[in-house]
Amino acid sequence: MTKRKYSKELVDGPNQAASRSMLRGAGFTSEDFTKPFVGIASTGAKVTPCNMHINQLAEVVEKSVDSSGGKGVLFNTITVSDGISMGTQGMKYSLVSREVIADSIETVVGCLGYDGVIAIGGCDKNMPGCLIGMARLNRPSIFIYGGSIQPSEENTDYVTVCEKTGEFSKGDLEESELIHVEKISVKGPGSCGGMYTANTMASAIEALGMSLPGSSSQDAISKDKQNDCLEAGLAVMNLLDNDIKPSDIMTKESFENAIVVVIALGGSTNAVLHLLAMAHAIGVDLNLDDFTRIGKKTPVMADLKPFGSHYMSELNANGGIQPLMKTLLDKGLINGECITVTGKTIAENLENIDPYKEDQNIIKAFDNPIKQNSHLRILYGNLAKEGAVAKITGKEGTSFEGSARVFNSEEDGVEAILSKSIKAGDIVVIRYEGPKGGPGMREMLKPTSAIMGQGLGDKVGFITDGRFSGGTHGFVVGHITPEAADGGLIAIVEDGDTILIDANDDQLILKVSEREIAERMAKWVNPKSPPKKGVLAKFARSVKSASLGAITD
């Protein structure tokens, strides 16, 4: 039995009296020193609706661990808000926060000898950050999702506000109408309610086997979410008793399960970035081409926002993602033998799950899906020799050829869109926003929402070495590698160049002669200087390509 593999080194024996003395000062009893220590990492903070309730959930988890025979030890890590910082320089810190969260969980647990870990996350980068930290530590671990926010009474949400801003700039909306939508659309707690990045990653983690069944779809404020937290104590003790670690759960097959579920749900492009990084952390060989291979046989089945009509709370009311997983298991698309944090396999967890009711219209029939294959397309070509990630549902078509309109920052691109200088047939190119060049790989929800709000979603293309919010939809390609700051071809695109985005043959092509490309590259100089110090400078120096998950170790 390995229940106290780490904590006993910290507190057992006369030589550890000083350590025990400090812990007694923190409220530990003599009996506690005989129990396994479980670190409970909370991302709770009042900076965003996504996380404003998570400290309360963490307290429920702590009591659950204590009542199950362990000693729960609550600590905090950070969160930031993509939604609040979107379109500003502050967004450069968003992806960086994933690494800070992973580093901080690893640091606290590694320093203080916790035998197991339970992490609770809400906003987008919390989830992969928690999983990366737990993967590095490789101690019995469970992730708990903070849950979804409810849509407004008028069926609006945060992304609605972004798109209404585009309508306002076009002149189709009065400012008073915009302010009305602003006031009603986000009433927390909980993460953004569509199949945006938070719900995408929560679903991926449940499919991966690292959260309890049902965790990914529950409303933030609900009895189900309270029960999710109450059940975590016994579950982590079971993992400790049986020495089941993330490396037993996070296998190549389980990552493939997660990819299948993300595609079936119509999930965010950020899933590609984060799953690659999580796989790297646990030592699994996952790459961009795995998404293509799996995407060829996996249909998009969920009519969920941003490109669909429904919210996660509606799916939860119909059973969450478990019936979908059962269908995918029955069709042979997911591996039922993968172990999960319940100590059971995926197949065992799904054994008694009922199918969706026939009158629900959120998850389409497997044989009549929204799209026959993946909406997440990995594109290659002279513009993306190491790959790029497109989110193309087919609603705007599957191929687009247009004339480049080039901008060296998101702000310049947004200004052009809102001033109505972007016209049908244009392809907006926003560069120097990659992991290194940004630095930080900002999300481009403001410009893409402005395009949608102006009614140009099927008339304008958009490419970037940055990335997209899960709320983005339209004809968009991100994660272009090599990025501009590394001398990728996107760095020498000029206004008026013809670009082809082809999601049928998965190509991204700059239609300029090789001679002209060589001449431009010979003259290219990076126009931006990286920061000299601070967290952004550290990130820029250590971060790897987006095609590798923008990892930093």
- Beta-bridged to residue 407, according to DSSP, are 430
Structure tokens at 418: 């809102």
Query: 247 near 283, Cβ under 8 Å?
Result: yes
Residue 481 host element (H or E): strand 475-481
User: How many CB atoms within 10 Å of residue 337?
Assistant: 11
Closest CA to 427 of 505, 508, 307, 481: 508
Query: 78 near 111, Cβ under 8 Å?
Result: no
**Dist CA 433 CA 540 (whole Å):** 11
Is residue 169 among the annotated active site residues? no
Query: 11 near 19, Cβ under 8 Å?
Result: yes
**Dist CA 272 CA 252 (whole Å):** 14
Is the peptide bond prior to 36 cis by the omega test (within 30 degrees of 0)? no
**Dist CA 508 CA 519 (whole Å):** 21
Which is catalytic among the residues 313, 469, 545, 547?
Answer: 469
DSSP state for residue 31 in the 8-state scheme: G
433-468 b/e with 16+ CB inside 10 Å = b?
bbbbbbbbbbbbbbbbbbbbbbebbebbbbbbbbbb
Active site residues: 469
